[in-house]
Amino acid sequence: MKWFGKCIDYFFTGMGFGAICYVCIMTFLYPGVGLTVRETVSVLGISGIIGFLSMIFKTDLPMSAAFAIHFIGTFILFMLMATINHWVINISSIVMFILMYVVIWLICLLEQKKTVNRINDRIKKRNLK
| pLDDT tens string 36-63 | 888 889 999 999 999 999 989 888 899 8
| Rounded percentage of the chain residues whose pLDDT exceeds 90 | 33
What pLDDT, on the 0 to 100 scale, is given for residue 65? 92
| Rounded percentage of the chain residues whose pLDDT exceeds 70 | 98
* E-only strand ranges, 32-105: none
What pLDDT, on the 0 to 100 scale, is given for residue 15? 87
Burial of 115 (0-12, 13-18, 19+ CB in 10 A): exposed
What distance in Å separates the CA atoms of residue 92 and residue 82, rounded to the nearest whole number?
A: 13
